[in-house]
Amino acid sequence: MTLNPCTLLVDNGSHRAESTLSLRRIAESLGSQLGREVHPVSLLHSTKVDPGDLGGIPAQIFEPFLKKQRENGENSFLVVPFFFGHSAAIYEYLPQRVREIGGGWPELEVRVAPSMVKLDEPEDVRVARILGDLVARKIEEEGLVRPAVTLVDHGTPRVAVNKVRNHVANQLAEVLKDKASVVEASSMERREGDEYAFNEPLLENLLGQEKFERDVVLSMLFISPGRHAGPGGDIAQIRQEAEKEHEGLRTFGSDLFATHPGVVNLLAERFAEGLAGVPVAGEVPAPEAGGERHERT
């Protein structure tokens, strides 16, 4: 592999301009730190955003981006996933697209860096530390005293992705220590059926219950703003409904992950690990099988 691969910071993609703008900001900061261009590229969805909302520059998605780079003579790529865990988007969808594209492009070489959370390295607490810092800031801003904290994710049909939520929640409890009275994981939504009960508790059911009936900080396991975690999104609506239903309940959302300056340092380390990795061949190896669907945000 060339020592100078075309580098992509890749997220899932969103129909919201704010998500693409956030990805661009992080890619620019990462590129400045690495001393190389880092291209902000989504797997899907983002080309539906009006370029007028993106400074006149259309969003880029994975497959057309690679094909365009081929026209410029580029054959070597390094993908840095802007994902918490082992999403099917990275570990299933992306390798599938690489295999299909590579069928007529034998020179194509794509490496994929590790995701931000490593379940097989419990001593790696960098994601939890960033989330903990965001929660601590919110506690200080609001003048709270040992509030309850819930680490809330989207919810998933895959057990492996749920393991990431629970893993980070346990680490977050250790990071926050006495700053929080309790730390518990929750999900925004889940599919019907007992087979998806691992997503429990749902945020709407947790809020207002014992230990979560007064001041509650939501630690947002969402990277960038979108229809779930953005202003007026699904999470905000759940909070509003819960506060109406439970007298005395106050909820506070921490800032989203991508707003923290430590994110770039973490991604720079993942870039270095990816540079030393092997190209995609069949699938991207993951310590845990499965992942989340590549749904729009």
Asked whether the predicted pLDDT for residue 98 surpasses 60, the reply is yes
Q: What is the pLDDT of residues 182-217, one digit of tens each?
A: 999 999 999 999 999 999 999 999 999 999 999 999
pLDDT reported for residue 278: 85
Asked whether the predicted pLDDT for residue 158 surpasses 70, the reply is yes
Q: What is the pTM of this model?
A: 0.90
Q: Given pLDDT bands bounded at 50, 70 and 90, which one contains residue 17? A: very high
The DSSP bridge pattern shows strands 109-112 and 76-81 to be parallel
How many other β-carbons are positioned within 10 Å of the β-carbon of residue 209?
14
Query: CB of 30 within 8 A of CB of 38?
Result: yes
Mean pLDDT of 115-125: 93
- CA–CA gap between residue 10 and residue 267 (Å, rounded): 11
pLDDT reported for residue 35: 97
Mean pLDDT of 251-262: 96
pLDDT reported for residue 285: 52
DSSP string, 54-83: GTT----BHHHHHHHHHHTT--EEEEEE--
